[in-house]
Amino acid sequence: MRRRRTATIAVASVLGMTATLGGCGLTGSSDEVTLKLVAADYGDSSANSSRKYWDKLVKEYEAAHEGVKVDVSVYSWNDVDRKVKDMVAAGDPPDMAQIGAYADYAAKGLLYSADDVLSIPVQGDLVYQLAAAGQVQGVQYGIPFAASTRVLFYNKTLFAKAGIDAPKTWNELAADAQALKAEGVKYPYALPLGPEEAQAETMQWLLSGGGGYTGTTGAYAIDSAENVDTFTWLKDDLVGKGLTGPVAPGRLNRAAAFSAFANGEVGMLNGHPSLMKMAESKGVKFGTVAMPGAEGPSRTSMGVADWMMAFKKNGHAKEIGDFLDFVYSEKNVLGFSREYDLLPVTTSASETMSTAEEDADLKPFLDELPVSELYPVGQTSWAEVSVDIKRRIGQAVSPNGSPTGTLNQIQATASSAQSAE
């Protein structure tokens, strides 16, 4: 999913290009503060780059806050996490970073807590399960910035041609896929378990089978009986029957699956809000429903959040907090969410979006947010576990693969990584 400023502004914005930022500190007159922010780019072109969002927001903020300057650098998602990591390693972290993960920095004691910087009204307005996912050992360090959920997309034209309805159960999904295959659909169900984002597709299926990555204690439970049953069904009843298309799931990436859906080649797949514009731009008529489960619609959806964090190195907790309170105002949260088809991370903006006619296309995703579960991002081990899932999970549904064996291997990695935290 996944994407701030203060009083008199100079914005340094870099789109996927290399840039080196100095640390925060006092610049100009002795009472002027410059805050550095590194942010991710949610746009897909220069026309809708996040740079434009931040330029406008910072200009408005600075006009009302004399003596504070916010210097923002925007990087592509391919680069932004690495840029921040390099800055921290060099001893020169930004004041704020809006990136994909926070737990490593929190575990090293580098971050302000949300209590340190956010006002009580703003902190209380954060959507509960998103704020909870930002905690490490009961203290919130990750401040959710953008969120999305997943639903099942289906091609209405292909479904009408095959004479089928949107599925509610796994068996109905398999039957629909059989009907679509009989009509010559290239990908009856697109199952992207390739290395780009396999952890997302995997989690959605695990949740729909009553499992997940962790158990009730927070320990990894990747090889649970429920998870093994889920991947056994996928291997035998979907992949093994040729219902996932010509590309092996372990080699199919999300971007390729989304592109194929937008080209009218996919009957069904799990998708997030950005797929809507892709499909609409190609004239694909689509519908969305909750992810089917073993016995009925899944009771839990997968949620994804990107994070804002504040580094302690340069101080400026008061100025950071004042700026973030502005960033998280209802107006600004709604503006960002609407620009990039993402879900708001505050209750006030969510309530507005849930009833606004202009946001009707996002309502199916918004409805899933209260019953969503996020990656275990509060665990520093998650980065290593996620990489292992991307590397191995496709083997579980390959012709000679073993769901039990593959999940056991991933669980071993997860248990080792968790014990090292």
Report residue 212: phi and psi, to 5°: 155, -175
Separation of CA 185 from chain center: 29
Considering the chain, tell me which residue range(s) the CATH 3.40.190.10 domain(s) occupy.
25-147+305-374, 151-290+381-419
Q: Which amino acid would we find at residue 230?
A: T
The pLDDT, as a whole number, for residue 4 is: 33
The pLDDT, as a whole number, for residue 193 is: 97
Q: Which residues of the chain have pLDDT under 50?
A: 1-29
The pLDDT, as a whole number, for residue 17 is: 34
Query: What SS3 class is residue 29?
Result: coil
The pLDDT, as a whole number, for residue 78 is: 83
Q: Whole-prediction pTM value? A: 0.84
Strands in 137-285 per DSSP E = 139-140, 143-149, 151-155, 187-189, 266-271
CATH 3.90.105.10 fits 25-147+305-374, yes or no: no
Query: In terms of DSSP H, where are the helices of 134-197?
Result: 156-162, 170-182
Dump pLDDT digits (tens) for 343-382: 999 999 999 999 999 999 999 999 998 889 999 999 999 9
**How many other CB atoms are there within 10 angstroms of residue 219's CB atom?**
13
The pLDDT, as a whole number, for residue 30 is: 55
The pLDDT, as a whole number, for residue 288 is: 96
CATH 3.40.190.10 fits 151-290+381-419, yes or no: yes
Mean pLDDT over each residue of the chain, to the nearest integer: 91
Q: How would you label 65-86 residue by residue, b for 16+ Cβ within 10 Å and e otherwise?
A: beebbbbbbbbbbebbbebbbe
The pLDDT, as a whole number, for residue 264 is: 98
- Say how far apart CA 176 and CA 403 lie, in whole Å: 24
